[in-house]
Structure 1
Amino acid sequence: MGNKLVTDFSICTGCAICLLACSNAAVGGFNPRLARMKVLNERDGLVSRPVVCNQCKNAFCQQVCPTGAIKRNEQGVLVVNEQDCNGCGSCSEYCPNGVIVILKKKALKCDLCGGSPRCVEQCPTGALQLFNGGDCCE
């Protein structure tokens, strides 16, 4: 299994299907505001850039969590233990990509859908891929 999402910006069309797939997987409904990722439109909408969790090596979200609710699973993916999360929002504030959502006093972040990310499966251009190895954030 891969442990990080990567994006080929040159083929992303900004269609936001990834946001719909992500929100449906995360909360069981099609609401892009509740997706565990976002799509930024730059240069007056001419360039679209999906922003996802980098699974940072020295993750700020994990470091600032007062309850220790954010941990790495066996695959090295940062996941939130909902029972331990108190919904304080510190992780969301410190995430460098701004992709942690607080919903009903619980943090939601990309967990790679347990190894089969819906955003990757549904991306019509293949701009999102699951990658194994490396780290972009130190």
Structure 2
Amino acid sequence: MPLTTEDKLEIQDLMGRFALAVDVQGPDAMRELFVDDARFVIESFQVDVKGLDNIINWIKDNSDSFPPNLTHVQSNFVIDGDGTEAKLSCISQAIQDFEGEIKHFVIGRYDETLVKTPAGWRLKVHKLNMRS
């Protein structure tokens, strides 16, 4: 069965919640977004972390390497799948604003694999492909 409009909206909302967790709420908020056996991949930094607890610990351990005052903006969503698994591709921009000036700007693409759980859609594989 193809994805419904409701599925696609829930998946897009999940990605908004991912950005909010990264920018504001902190790594522990990721527990509501990923399945327990998830993968977190950033190939340009040779990052491939398996398991939700390991993902959260990796983010906590590396949070000093992320610039402060980041805002993630996502666009150009393409979501395909069936009623149990979905693939999402979208553009992600990370912008650092410091004292009214843009200090840091990165653009990349998220290529996500999601699964539908009893609690709703969750990330199975989060993959960031950096462009700049």
Q: Of Structure 1 and Structure 2, which has the larger fraction of its residues in strand?
A: 2
Q: TM-score, normalised by structure 1?
A: 0.25
Q: Of Structure 1 and Structure 2, which has the larger fraction of its residues in helix?
A: 2
Pick 1 or 2: higher relative contact order, CA cutoff 8 A, min separation 6. 1
